Amino acid sequence: MREDQDVLEWISQLMNEEHELLKQEEHEGASEAKRERRREIEECLDQCWDMLRQRRAKRRAGLDPDSAAVREVDMVEHYKQ
C-alpha cells in the first residue's frame, strides 16, 4: 500500500463494502456480525485516510512519502483536523 493510488483504491473498495452492508441492513436488519464488520471498515478507512494525509504531507515537505506508516486505530480515531 505504498503508492497513493493503491491507498485510494483500497479506500474505494472499503467504501463499496460499507455501502453494501448499509443497503443490506436497510432491507434485512443489522446482525451483530454486520455491525462489527462495518465498525472494522470505518476504522480501516480512518487509517487509510490518515496514511494518505501523511504521504501527501511528507511529499509537500520534500520527504519520502514511502516513510509514512499506518497508525494505530486509537490514534487516528481521535485525530483532530
The string of pLDDT tens digits covering residues 15-47 is 999 999 999 888 888 788 888 999 999 999 999
What mean pLDDT value characterizes the chain?
89
pLDDT at 80 over 90: no
CA distances (Å), 65 to each of 3, 33, 37, 48, 80, in order? 8, 36, 30, 14, 21
Q: Domain spans of the chain?
A: 4-77
DSSP-based helix, strand, coil % in the chain, nearest 5: 75, 0, 25
Q: How confident is the model at residue 60 (pLDDT cuts 50, 70, 90)?
A: very high
**The predicted structure's pLDDT at residue 32:** 87
To the question of pTM greater than 0.85 for the whole model, the response is no
Q: Does 57 or 25 have the greater pLDDT score?
A: 57
- The pair phi, psi for residue 43, each rounded to 5°, is -65, -45
Quickly tell me which residue has 520527504 as its cell: 63
